[in-house]
Amino acid sequence: MLSVDYSLAPERPWPAAPDDCETAARWAAASPSAIGLQVDGLVTMGDSAGGALAITTTIALREAPAAVPVIAQCAIYPAVDLATTYPSTIALAEGYLLTAPMLHWYNKLYAAERGHWRASPLLADQAGLPPTMIVGASLDPLIDQSRAYAAATIAAGVPTIYREAAGNIHGFLNLRQAIPSSVGDVTGLLTALDAMIAEARGQ
């Protein structure tokens, strides 16, 4: 597993982050000696902004394939559409850790071209993407974006698993000690992802 220390705004605004993630994926796909493994497929994965970056990386590698294919992608409560205000962003604007003012501030610092697919991957054509898992949290202002992205991949004919952590909030992946139900949510998504990857590798 590789964790990409991608560029952060405001010091390095968009598109530095998607550039870094695509570069790292292409580097890994080439089986560099630093990895010490022969790479035969990639799985892109991330949460929150990292979830969107996992998707943009997958799309970039669909458009200009790397040395090996992306065999699956997993995005956990991703921010996939910076161009649209969704009902959940308003209904869950306060009181659930991630707030609407925080989202506004993050988006301002990111300084992205919001209508571009590398900032809002929901706006891209999803056809031809690998098996996809989307994980949302029901008390997340971004939950409508998770649901919308899963619907878009299904509509495009992409094998898709959608999971929703009921009664949980944005960031639960890193809050397992504070929110005990997160343990089951994380275990469930990893179990389902493992099966998805095994099936993809079998094909």
Residue 138 among the catalytic residues: no
Cα–Cα distance, 82 to 139 (Å, whole number): 19
Tokens of 166: 């009921």
| CB-count burial class (<10 Å; 0-12, 13-18, 19+) for 74 | buried
Residue 125 among the catalytic residues: no
Among 120, 144, 146, 170, the active-site one is 170
Give helix then strand counts, H and E, for the chain: 6, 4
Among 140, 146, 182, 185, the active-site one is 140
Residue 170 among the catalytic residues: yes
- Supply φ then ψ for residue 81, to 5 degrees: -145, 95
Among 48, 120, 146, 182, the active-site one is 48
Tokens of 15: 């598109």
Cα–Cα distance, 44 to 141 (Å, whole number): 23
Annotate 38-104 with DSSP letters as a single string: ----EEEEEETHHHHHHHHHHHHHHHS--SS-EEEEEEES----TT---HHHHHTSSSSSS-HHHHH
> Catalytic positions, please?
48, 140, 170
